[in-house]
């Protein structure tokens, strides 16, 4: 690969393309790795690369165990590079033309059983600020299926304990009203009326969940809390805030909720994003049937 072309291309990407730093780094890293592959295969001139060579490289990435999403990004990086050369009259044809990205894997969400949820939610103990706050947060997360970004953004006014509902406004300014279960209401009342004020330093602080300094609990702080209780529970699954969101959705569907309702509660703009949970349910059902019926299961 001609060094001067690559150098000019990188300068173009940095100066003329409105990319985030992470995306820019990924594109440069991908094209640099492609360059190394070409050199290893005695291809020194990138302008001579044809469609077959690129397909062979994508197959090489597949054999290396790269995920379809990674291979798709590599193809996008290579396509961007050759579009740059085509636009600058360095090549006559784009070798990536009509090349399709591999279909993304349909990853089933990690879901806890109802028994595992009970174990996890029972981990916060102690009649103190941290124990009651953490219990209220975990109960609320499982009761509503909201995102971690949404739970840390909650203000006191977003919770109506008398009506038993939560009001969420997303980035699109769409508002959704989510019912809250009795268990979550019980611990929210205890936290708000007995413990929140013990760390509150600024009367104007609107945040529902506070840290020890009386400030809004951060997303990172919430992740640490989940990680600690996950380890403490000894559940042999990777548990993140998203795991409780997934579990909430699957348990609703298992108990007869229709997919449209679950979509609305989760705040999915497209029902296809919610349908992954029906696949998770079907996959679990098949595994359970197999274990019960196969003689060597």
User: Among residues 97, 193, 212, 290, which one is catalytic?
Assistant: 290
**Residue 66, helix vs strand vs coil:** coil
Q: Does domain 3-87 have CATH number 3.60.10.10?
A: no
CA-to-CA distance for 27 and 38, rounded, in angstroms? 17
User: Among residues 196, 245, 285, 296, which one is catalytic?
Assistant: 245
Percent of residues in the chain assigned helix, strand, coil, to nearest 5: 60, 5, 35
- Run of H or E residues at 78: helix 68-87
| Two tokens, residue 185 | 């209401």
In this prediction, residue 20 carries a pLDDT of 76
Sorted by where each begins, the domain ranges of the chain are 3-87, 114-293
Structural fold of domain 114-293: hpI Integrase; Chain A (1.10.443)
CA-to-CA distance for 143 and 184, rounded, in angstroms? 7
Judge whether 124 and 135 are in contact, CB under 8 Å.
yes
For the beta carbon of residue 10, count every other beta carbon within 10 angstroms: 16
In this prediction, residue 229 carries a pLDDT of 96
In this prediction, residue 292 carries a pLDDT of 66
CA-to-CA distance for 242 and 180, rounded, in angstroms? 18
∠ Cα 74 76 77 (to 5°)? 65
Catalytic residue list contains 12: no
Question: Which residues of the chain fall short of a pLDDT of 50?
Answer: 1, 297
CA-to-CA distance for 269 and 258, rounded, in angstroms? 16
Q: What is the 3-state secondary structure (H, E, C) of 85-142?
A: HHHCCCCCCCCCCCCCCCCCCCCCCCCCCHHHHHHHHCCCCCCCHHHHHHHHHHHHHH
Catalytic residue list contains 290: yes
CA-to-CA distance for 285 and 148, rounded, in angstroms? 29
CA-to-CA distance for 146 and 185, rounded, in angstroms? 15
In this prediction, residue 277 carries a pLDDT of 76
In 3D space, the residue among 34, 46, 35, 39 whose CA is nearest the CA of residue 74 turns out to be 34
∠ Cα 128 130 134 (to 5°)? 120
In this prediction, residue 140 carries a pLDDT of 96
In this prediction, residue 8 carries a pLDDT of 86
Q: 230-268 pLDDT, tens per residue?
A: 999 999 999 988 899 999 988 988 888 888 888 888 888
In this prediction, residue 218 carries a pLDDT of 94
In this prediction, residue 15 carries a pLDDT of 80
Tell me the residue ranges of DSSP E strands in the chain.
Answer: 159-160, 165-169, 175-179
In this prediction, residue 287 carries a pLDDT of 57
In this prediction, residue 99 carries a pLDDT of 87
């Amino acid at each position: 690969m001609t060094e001067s072309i690559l150098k000019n291309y990188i300068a173009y990407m940095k100066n003329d393309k409105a990319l985030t730093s992470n995306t820019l780094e990924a594109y440069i890293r991908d094209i640099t790795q492609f360059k190394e592959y070409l050199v290893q295969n005695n291809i020194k001139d990138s302008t001579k690369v044809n469609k077959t060579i690129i397909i062979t490289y994508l197959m090489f990435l597949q054999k290396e165990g790269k995920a379809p999403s990674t291979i798709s990004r590599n193809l996008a990086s290579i396509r961007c590079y050759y579009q740059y050369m085509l636009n600058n009259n360095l090549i006559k044809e784009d070798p990536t033309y009509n090349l399709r990205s591999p279909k993304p894997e349909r990853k089933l969400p990690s879901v806890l059983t109802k028994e595992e949820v009970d174990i996890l939610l029972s981990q916060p103990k102690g009649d103190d600020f941290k124990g009651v706050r953490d219990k209220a947060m975990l109960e609320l997360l499982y009761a509503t299926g909201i995102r971690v970004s949404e739970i840390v953004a909650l203000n006191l006014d977003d919770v109506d304990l008398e009506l038993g509902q939560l009001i969420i406004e997303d980035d699109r300014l769409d508002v959704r009203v989510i019912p809250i279960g009795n268990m979550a209401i019980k611990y929210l009342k205890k936290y708000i009326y007995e413990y929140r004020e013990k760390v509150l330093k600024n009367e104007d602080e609107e945040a529902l969940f506070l840290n020890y300094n009386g400030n809004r609990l951060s997303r990172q702080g919430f992740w640490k809390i989940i990680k600690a209780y996950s380890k403490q529970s000894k559940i042999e699954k990777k548990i993140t805030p998203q795991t409780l969101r997934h579990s909430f959705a699957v348990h609703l569907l298992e108990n007869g909720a229709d997919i449209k309702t679950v979509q609305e509660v989760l705040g999915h703009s497209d029902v296809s994003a919610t349908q992954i949970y029906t696949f998770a349910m079907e996959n679990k059902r098949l595994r359970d049937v197999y274990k019960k019926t196969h003689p060597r299961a």
